[in-house]
Amino acid sequence: MDKFMLTERTTLRRLPKRGEFEREAVYKILDEGLVCHVGFNVDRKTFVIPTGYARVEDKLYIHGSPASRMLRALGGGIDVCVTVTLLDGLVLARSAFHHSMNYRSIVAFGTATVVEDETEKLEALRAFSEHIIRGRWDEVRQPTANELKATLVLSLPLVEVSAKVRTGPPLDDDEDYELPIWAGVVPLGLAASAPIDDARVPDGIKPPAYALDYRRS
């Protein structure tokens, strides 16, 4: 299917015209983001935890220590809500009321499960590394058996998903367009600075190209 099916939870109530359900568009946002927020309820208490993630085809993976309360709770099969937001610009209108932001966001609902298969687990860890900085996985030492045991990986099928997107200039009331006030968009984006060597890097080893030219797109 090229589109995600609308459900009661993914149907947009406010500004539905900003909704996006095309699978390719949703995946593009996920692939550009770096941090997701995972919401869940345990013992009648609600938590929202930021964490890294990676997408492999139609699955979202998160990982961490088996001692993590979040991962232990999610691995038990409870419902979760995962969000990712990319902020693209500040929208400055002529009136305070119409100020806004340009953004691309994802909301996904589902039930996460523990990845038990070692091959899938290793592939998920490779995906984490490549999602953060492409090319790094092939250069570094691979996880040992003990390191794999010390890492819990969860898989969330991407089935109940929606995106919401705002682009473009401010939308003012007609009578406000004549006001002598600047209006427009201040574009925002993630920009990397020059790599900083670790103090114990041996002499003669230079930062790789993927670190020197790092960018998200």
The model's confidence at residue 43, banded by pLDDT at 50, 70 and 90, is confident
Per DSSP, the three-state class of 145 is helix
- Is pLDDT above 80 for 10? yes
- Is pLDDT above 90 for 77? no
- Is pLDDT above 80 for 215? yes
The partner residues of 160 in beta bridges, in order of sequence, read 109
Q: What pLDDT was estimated at residue 74?
A: 83
Place of tokens 């099916």: 5
Q: Which residue has the higher pLDDT, 73 or 90?
A: 90
Per CATH, the number for 16-191 is 2.30.110.10
Per DSSP, the three-state class of 146 is helix
The model's confidence at residue 159, banded by pLDDT at 50, 70 and 90, is very high
Q: Using a pLDDT cut of 70, give the percent of the chain over it.
A: 100
Q: Could you count the other beta carbons within 10 Å of the beta carbon of residue 109?
A: 18
Q: What pLDDT was estimated at residue 81?
A: 96
Which two structure tokens, joined as six digits, stand for 110?
């589902």
Q: Give 87-135 pLDDT, tens digit per residue.
A: 999 999 999 999 999 999 999 999 999 999 999 999 999 999 999 999 9
Q: What pLDDT was estimated at residue 19?
A: 85
Name all contacts of 4-10 with Cβ < 8 Å and 24+ positions apart: 4/158, 4/159, 4/160, 4/161, 4/162, 5/160, 6/162, 7/109, 7/160, 9/109, 9/160, 10/107, 10/109, 10/160, 10/161, 10/162
Output the average pLDDT for the chain: 94
> How many Å apart are CA 36 and CA 183, to the nearest integer?
31
Q: What pLDDT was estimated at residue 67?
A: 82
- Name, in order, each residue with C-beta under 8 angstroms of 149's C-beta and a sequence gap of 6 or more: none
**Mean pLDDT calculated for residue range 179-195:** 97
Q: Could you count the other beta carbons within 10 Å of the beta carbon of residue 94?
A: 19
Q: What pLDDT was estimated at residue 69?
A: 79
- Is pLDDT above 80 for 52? yes
- Is pLDDT above 90 for 24? yes
Place of tokens 């935890």: 49
